[in-house]
Amino acid sequence: MDFDLTDDQKLLTDSVSKLLADRYTFEARKGFQKQPEGWSPDMWGQFADMGLLGLPFDEAYGGFGGGAVDVMLVMEQFGKALVLEPYLATVVLAGTALRLAGTEAQKSALLPEIVGGALKMAFAHGEQGSRYDLSDVQTTARPAGDGWVLDGAKAVVLHGGSADKLVVSARTAGDRNDRDGITLFLVDADAKGVGRRSYQLRDGTRAAEVSLSAVQVGADAVLGRVGGAYPVISRVVEAGISALAAEVVGGMDKMLDVTLEYLRTRHQFGKAIGENQVLQHKAADMLMSLEQGRSMSMLAAMMVDEPDDAERERNIAMAKVGVGQAGKFVSQNAVQLHGGIGMTEEYVIGHYFRRAMMFDHSFGDTAYYLAKLASQVQ
Amino acid sequence: MDLRFTPEEIAWRDEVRTFINENLPPEIRERMRLGYAPTKQETITWQRILNKKGWACPGWPAEFGGAAWTPIQRMIFTEENQAAPAPELNGFNITMLGPVLAHFGTPEQKAYFLPRAANLDDWWCQGFSEPGAGSDLASLKTAAKREGDFYIVNGQKIWTSTAHHADWIFALVRTDPNARKKQEGISFLLIDMKTPGITVRPIISIDGSHHLNEVFFDDVKVPVHQRIYEENRGWDVAKYLLGNERTGIARLGKSRANLNFAMDVARNVRAGGAPLIEDPGFRQRVAQIQVDLKALELTQMRVIAAASKKSDGKPDPFSSILKVKGTELLQATSELVMDTGGPMAMPIWASELNALGNEPIAPEWAGYMAAPYLMLRAASIYGGTNEIQRNILNKAVLRL
């Protein structure tokens, strides 16, 4: 058991942190948000140059052969700066699907493109009726000639609007909630029959509603085994949870810092409000929540590649609950301790608050995972 | 970064578990599983078994019987011992007095007291708190006046755990009432409980048990050679003592044992026509506790991993997180135990049963369900209240 970072990992953390401190100020971020994509292609190029886009991929594809801990370190820094770019969608979600299920040909064609920054991808799985149930897929794919034809709709596809290629799940057999019979397809975002309506989420990042209407794809578009995508989807979501958990930890870290600074400088009744013990204790509670959340984020990262399915799923579920609850506690109290200014669009805290809020609704909320854990109690 | 135990750590855990299984007297284990606090004799029996094995005072320097375990090995031992459940090592002897003697004691003090403390030949208790000195410990007033080779001690200590079992007490006393600062003018004395002038009065706590006491000192003569370290420098000794050995402060093994006990009972009681363990509300509480246990387990590992890297000997302020979160879990798990008992948590069966000649009139577990809940309300009060821990976090980390 050890919690040490390698020299490479320390270097990675420092360089990402430095880049973001220089280039990703709160003001700069507002500018990025106004760009057509809703994020900065220039920063995306910087991430590519630094090797961040190739972090979890094998060296054979131009990657750096890193693991979930490396992704965790990067995401934590991203969380501190509220990074808008489609790293989670492209590198973590679609990237994990490709890593786990891609053929040699698919990986050699796509991964180097991701690593270089040219290819953005999105993971189009959830549907309006599916809530958090990963096996609830109504989009269909039926065989046609050598290939397939897809019909259906995907909801809240993170960065679906700026993606060049989508990983789409569709039912090729079975009933609505069956785990068997789901297949993943690689679909060009501008293919005939693909409709995308892009919009902003509550936290300022982008997502899209994707419609698929008689979309034709070839046999080589199938990612993984026909009808056997469920375990892959599940692993993709776990990787997503791990990465997002780290992002929330970075955000909590920042929220606590900003709040402490406010408590030191805001004066009422002739003294800094941080001199009030009731506020000191609230801040201590935030610190404890943050550190418990950080522990759970580490747990998630270290469990993402655990081969024992039950062990991995259980620990990731616990991490999701732990980080979700910590994120809620820290963000709610960050707003509370700021008072009125914490409610404003103009000030930073509300933006972190909304990011933490999004986490709970991504890939299953606290109630969902607590119920899942509860069902295993016997 | 790797969370998993190394093969060596797993081997160590198995070695500890096997030793406990083979050597812990079954009747002690069973009583503790039912929620009984170990008796004095049970604690002595088990500590002597461990001492014979060389495991009673792992944190002490090797020359006094220490085992040179890594912090992780120590954590593993502590948790296996708590989870067994086995009596915990007498903390006054092992984690409080021992390191203090090894660090500040004279060669004579070390040679006499340390082996006896390890083997629990002397049962120690701690005379720190006073009626007017709780969280504000340095305002203590118990006076020790020097007369030749003796101190004459007068005053009162309170909340003295196991003073009624104790052979000796280590106490903070005021040797200079005119000191500039209240922290100055305090000395650290070792006092034989058989000395004339000492009176121990029980305090019965809300769980009905006798664990706490008041200790009165009335012209108690204490030889000067029983002082640890310099006169009026006792506060340094106390700080060293309080900062020492924070591993195990979270008492995760104890919380796990509580949770396991609640789940055992829940499999055997019915609620709404099915075992309680299948009740969604019950399961949800268990799941939340499991999540919180997991988080603290990891935070504790982080603190321990950091401890094995640093050598300045200063306490890690993050051990305050372990204290607060660990005691919250002790309280949550003991509350779960009580609620699992349902109406059967209300009677005090033990005394009733004794009066009836020990005829079993209720399930074995009934009557033990509420005692830990009552007793563990103290967990967020002792060892520095959880509010004081937040003050520590503020002072050391937040700096508001």
Residue B84 belongs to some domain of the structure: yes
Classify the C-alpha dihedral B36-B40-B44-B47 as positive or negative.
Answer: positive
Confidence of residue A50 (pLDDT cuts 50, 70, 90): very high
Is some CB atom of chain B closer than 8 A to the CB atom of A146?
no
Tally of domains in chain B: 3
Is some CB atom of chain A closer than 8 A to the CB atom of B10?
no
Question: Is B262 in the same domain as B155?
Answer: no
The beta-carbon neighbor of B2 closest among A1, A272, A296 is A1
Burial annotation B380-398 (CB, 10 A radius, 16+ → b, else e): beebbbbebbbbbbbeebb
Predicted local confidence at residue B311, as pLDDT = 61
Predicted local confidence at residue B308, as pLDDT = 74
B298 and A298 in contact by Cβ < 8 A? Answer: yes
The span from the CA of A125 to the CA of A93, in Å, is 11
- Chain B residues lying within 8 Å of A69, measured CB to CB: 1
Question: Is B275 in the same domain as B373?
Answer: yes
Q: Which residue of B has its CA nearest to A257?
A: B398
**Mean pLDDT on B123-141:** 95
**In 3D, which of B127, B73, B65 has the Cα closest to residue B99?**
B65
Residue B174 belongs to some domain of the structure: yes
Question: Is B252 in the same domain as B381?
Answer: yes
A373 and B4 in contact by Cβ < 8 A? Answer: no
- Render pLDDT for A280-292 as a digit per residue (tens, 0 to 9): 999 999 999 999 9
Percentage of chain B beyond pLDDT 90 is 76
Question: Is B24 in the same domain as B150?
Answer: no
Residues 269-298 of B with CB under 8 A from A: 277-278, 280, 282-284, 286-288, 290-292, 294-296, 298
- Chain A residues lying within 8 Å of B288, measured CB to CB: 321, 370
Give the catalytic positions of B in this structure. 245
Burial annotation B237-252 (CB, 10 A radius, 16+ → b, else e): bbebbeebbbbbbbbb
Question: Is B201 in the same domain as B313?
Answer: no
Nearest CA to CA, how far is A136 from chain B (Å)? Answer: 24
A3 and B391 in contact by Cβ < 8 A? Answer: no
Predicted local confidence at residue B313, as pLDDT = 61
- Render pLDDT for B202-214 as a digit per residue (tens, 0 to 9): 999 998 889 999 9
Confidence of residue B162 (pLDDT cuts 50, 70, 90): very high
CATH number at B354 reads 1.20.140.10
Is some CB atom of chain B closer than 8 A to the CB atom of A7?
no
Is some CB atom of chain B closer than 8 A to the CB atom of A283?
yes
Say yes or no to pLDDT of B350 above 90: no
Predicted local confidence at residue B71, as pLDDT = 83
Confidence of residue A1 (pLDDT cuts 50, 70, 90): confident
Q: Which residue of B has its CA nearest to A263?
A: B400
A3 and B393 in contact by Cβ < 8 A? Answer: no
B1 and A3 in contact by Cβ < 8 A? Answer: yes
Say yes or no to pLDDT of B352 above 90: no
The beta-carbon neighbor of B305 closest among A3, A272, A292 is A3
Question: Is B321 in the same domain as B193?
Answer: no
Of the given ranges (A320-329, B165-174, B189-198, B255-264), which has the lowest mean pLDDT? Answer: B255-264
Residue B334 belongs to some domain of the structure: yes
**Mean pLDDT on A294-310:** 96
Predicted local confidence at residue B242, as pLDDT = 81
- Render pLDDT for A107-139 as a digit per residue (tens, 0 to 9): 999 999 999 999 999 999 999 999 999 999 999
Residues 212-271 of B with CB under 8 A from A: 263
- Render pLDDT for A137-184 as a digit per residue (tens, 0 to 9): 999 999 999 999 999 999 999 999 999 999 999 999 999 999 999 999
Domain boundary among B172, B205, B232: B232
Question: Is B212 in the same domain as B254?
Answer: no
Residue B103 belongs to some domain of the structure: no
Q: Which residue of A has its CA nearest to B281?
A: A374
Say yes or no to pLDDT of A210 above 90: yes
Question: Is B252 in the same domain as B379?
Answer: yes
Q: Which residue of A has its CA nearest to B72?
A: A1
Is some CB atom of chain B closer than 8 A to the CB atom of A4?
yes
A263 and B286 in contact by Cβ < 8 A? Answer: no
Question: Is B225 in the same domain as B265?
Answer: no
Nearest CA to CA, how far is A13 from chain B (Å)? Answer: 14
pTM for this model (two decimals): 0.93
Predicted local confidence at residue B4, as pLDDT = 79
Q: How many Cβ pairs closer than 8 A exist between chain A and B?
A: 129
Residue B167 belongs to some domain of the structure: yes
Structural domains in chain A, CATH included, are 7-119 (1.10.540.10), 123-228 (2.40.110.10), 231-375 (1.20.140.10)
- Render pLDDT for A9-41 as a digit per residue (tens, 0 to 9): 999 999 999 999 999 999 999 999 999 999 999
Three-state SS for chain B is CECCCCHHHHHHHHHHHHHHHHHCCHHHHHHHHCCCCCCHHHHHHHHHHHHHHCCCCCCCCHHHCCCCCCHHHHHHHHHHHHHCCCCCCCHHHHHHHHHHHHHHCCHHHHHHHHHHHHCCCCCEEEECCECCECCCHHHCCCEEEEECCEEEEEEEEECCCCCCCCCEEEEEEECCCCCCCCCCCEEEEEEECCCCCEEEEEEECCCCCEEEEEEEEEEEEEEHHHEECCCCEHHHHHHHHHHCCCCCCCCHHHHHHHHHHHHHHHHHCEECCEEHHHCHHHHHHHHHHHHHHHHHHHHHHHHHHHHCCCCCCCCCCCHHHHHHHHHHHHHHHHHHHHHHHHHHHCCCHHHHHHHCCCCCCCCCCCCCCCHHHHHHHHHHCCCCCHHHHHHHHHHHHHCC
To the nearest 10 degrees (0 to 180), the angle between helices A309-338 and A230-265 is 30
- Chain B residues lying within 8 Å of A318, measured CB to CB: 290-291, 294-295
Residue B104 belongs to some domain of the structure: no
Boundaries of domain holding B353? 246-398
B313 φ/ψ angles, rounded to the nearest 5 degrees? 75, 0
- Render pLDDT for B273-291 as a digit per residue (tens, 0 to 9): 999 999 999 999 999 999 9
Residue B107 belongs to some domain of the structure: no
Residue B355 belongs to some domain of the structure: yes
Q: Which residue of A has its CA nearest to B319?
A: A288
Say yes or no to pLDDT of B185 above 80: yes
B299 and A375 in contact by Cβ < 8 A? Answer: no
Predicted local confidence at residue B357, as pLDDT = 61
Give the mean pLDDT of chain B. Answer: 92
Question: Which value, to the nearest 10 degrees, does the dihedral of the CA atoms of residues A102, A104, A109, A110 take?
Answer: 30
Question: Is B389 in the same domain as B255?
Answer: yes
The DSSP bridge partners found for residue A217 are A148
- Render pLDDT for B22-58 as a digit per residue (tens, 0 to 9): 999 999 999 888 777 899 999 999 999 999 999 999 9
Is some CB atom of chain A closer than 8 A to the CB atom of B1?
yes
B394 and A281 in contact by Cβ < 8 A? Answer: yes
Confidence of residue B307 (pLDDT cuts 50, 70, 90): confident
B400 and A292 in contact by Cβ < 8 A? Answer: no
Q: Which residue of B has its CA nearest to A258?
A: B398
Question: Is B284 in the same domain as B219?
Answer: no
Question: Is B323 in the same domain as B264?
Answer: yes
Is some CB atom of chain B closer than 8 A to the CB atom of A263?
yes
Confidence of residue A58 (pLDDT cuts 50, 70, 90): very high
